[in-house]
Structure 1
């Protein structure tokens, strides 16, 4: 079986996590020819994927596990929280899994910050992706944290390929 890698991204709202993940995913898919899977954590349960009144909403509203399939996509609705292994099993195949959030998962983690750092993230951080809006000399970064340029997608991908966890 082919080696599958996983890495997580964390950081406060509006730090650039999603933008960075999008850039990394597109480059991995198009330039590196990798199959990419993405898991996004929705801690406040704000995301809405279905429209009230539609059959798929009614099915999902029963509490059942529901799959909606069409010629172009398959959507899985679950009323149960899944652990990482369960979520990984939902994906048929991938080379690289990018996880947004879920800072307690045992994955190598890139923390994304702009303008200021929050030291509460330091214990969970293996790399810091940032830009010149932060003066790193103002912070006591842990010595084992790699610093990445948030605008250098190739450097971020290089770090991922070297440090991601095999899953």
Structure 2
């Protein structure tokens, strides 16, 4: 499995870029999963439905399955942030995992920046050696030797990922 993070502030286009990259990788015949960090409490369940009622009654996990879909809802007994590595271990085998968020994770990542975005702060690549490329619609704010990819060309980003695939090999044992 190969893993790459996409990191940057809110509203710069990470999700749009990832969905385009995902489509291009899938078109190349690859199996792709996505791991997304949610900053707020979120719910996939519909109040009043059976699965919601099971969870509200105290189930630790509720597994929903149909002919086409599976969803596992798990309630943590204590509030805490799971590590990206623990979450990657939950995924089924695939060729690529695109990770959105988790900007401080020890994974290779593409920093996403956009000119029209609100205040973005200093670039991650200036401080984080795990940033391996920049996806943007403008010149980098600080000169860099990193590859600079077009945020508006997810196909080219996917092509670059496939050409650089070995640098994204993920070995769980390296992340204890």
Alpha carbons of structure 1 residues 118 and 158: separation in structure 2 relative to 1, 3 Å:
farther
Matched residue SS, 2:20: helix
Q: Give the corresponding residue for 1:9.
A: 6
Superposed CA RMSD in Å reads 2.0
Structure 1 portions without partners, runs of 5+:
none
Matched residue SS, 1:93: coil
1:69 deviates by 0.8
Q: Aligned equivalents of 1:111 and 1:76: distance in 2?
A: 30
Matched residue SS, 1:39: strand
**Alignment match of 1:27 (pick from 21, 24, 28):** 24
| 2:61 paired with 1:57 | no
Matched residue SS, 1:155: helix
TM-score (norm 2): 0.79
Matched residue SS, 2:98: strand
Q: Aligned equivalents of 1:63 and 1:11: distance in 2?
A: 35
1:44 deviates by 2.2
Q: Give the corresponding residue for 2:159.
A: 158
Q: How many residues are aligned here?
A: 157
Q: How does 1:64-83 map to 2 (within 5 A)?
A: 64-80=60-76, 81-83=81-83
1:144 deviates by 4.5
- Render the CA deviation track for 1:47-76: whole Å, top value 9, x for unaligned: 321111212112223251221111110001
Q: How does 1:121-136 map to 2 (within 5 A)?
A: 121-122=124-125, 123-124=127-128, 125-131=131-137, 134-136=138-140
Bigger mean CA deviation after superposition, 74-83 or 20-29: 74-83
Q: Give the corresponding residue for 1:148.
A: 149
TM-score (norm 1): 0.83
Q: Give the corresponding residue for 2:37.
A: 41
Matched residue SS, 1:156: helix
Structure 2 portions without partners, runs of 5+:
172-176
Q: Which runs of 4+ in 1 moved over 4 A?
A: none
* 1:107–1:165 contact (8 Å) kept in structure 2: no
- Render the CA deviation track for 1:6-50: whole Å, top value 9, x for unaligned: 0000111111100010001111112x10000101100122x3211
